[in-house]
Amino acid sequence: MKNLQPQGLWNNFYDLTQIPRPSGKKEEISAFLANYGRSLGLETIVDGIGNVIIRKPASPGYENHPGVILQGHMDMVPQKNNDTVFDFEKDPIEAYIDGEWVTAKGTTLGADNGIGVAAAMAILADKSVVHPPLEVLVTVDEETGMYGAFALEECQQVAFPFP
């Protein structure tokens, strides 16, 4: 999968498949995302419930443009085939390419919302993308009730003023 294009997107998605992340198991994935933002030198916040916010300043000349928020969630639906032995709290997803499809061996792939989070990560890392102020918000426990979104503090909900 790491040879697929765009490579940044698929490398990030593969990395996400290696972290067990069913709803309620947020510590490792929150830490991974926070470390990712910090490794890029970006302002990174982890709130009390585990939501991760990563802010990237605007490209030169775009500082006064309205900001863009890319939002996703870090948990996945833990479903497996009846004949598959798999522990979603410990095992990485066994992703593979089947013809033109990326799929998983006996389990859900975690593409909801792993591919969205991987795309946001790729945008944060890509220095060639010209952009206004960016904020990536990745919430916890969306699959079981949007608990991360509901727990956002008011001061975190709007990071950029909109006209």
Burial class (CB in 10 A: 0-12, 13-18, 19+), 162: exposed
142 is catalytic: yes
Q: Which amino acid is at 131?
A: H
Tokens of residue 158, six digits: 């709007």
Contact between 79 and 23 (Cβ < 8 Å): no
> Any residues with CB less than 8 A from the CB of 142 and at least 6 apart, and which?
23, 73, 75, 113, 148, 149
Report the Cα–Cα distance between both ends of the chain, in Å, rounded: 41
Marked catalytic residue, from 75, 135, 141, 143:
75
98 is catalytic: no
Tokens of residue 1, six digits: 């999968």
Marked catalytic residue, from 135, 141, 142, 143:
142
To the nearest 5 percent, what fractions of the chain are helix, strand and coil? Answer: 30, 20, 50
Active-site positions read 75, 142
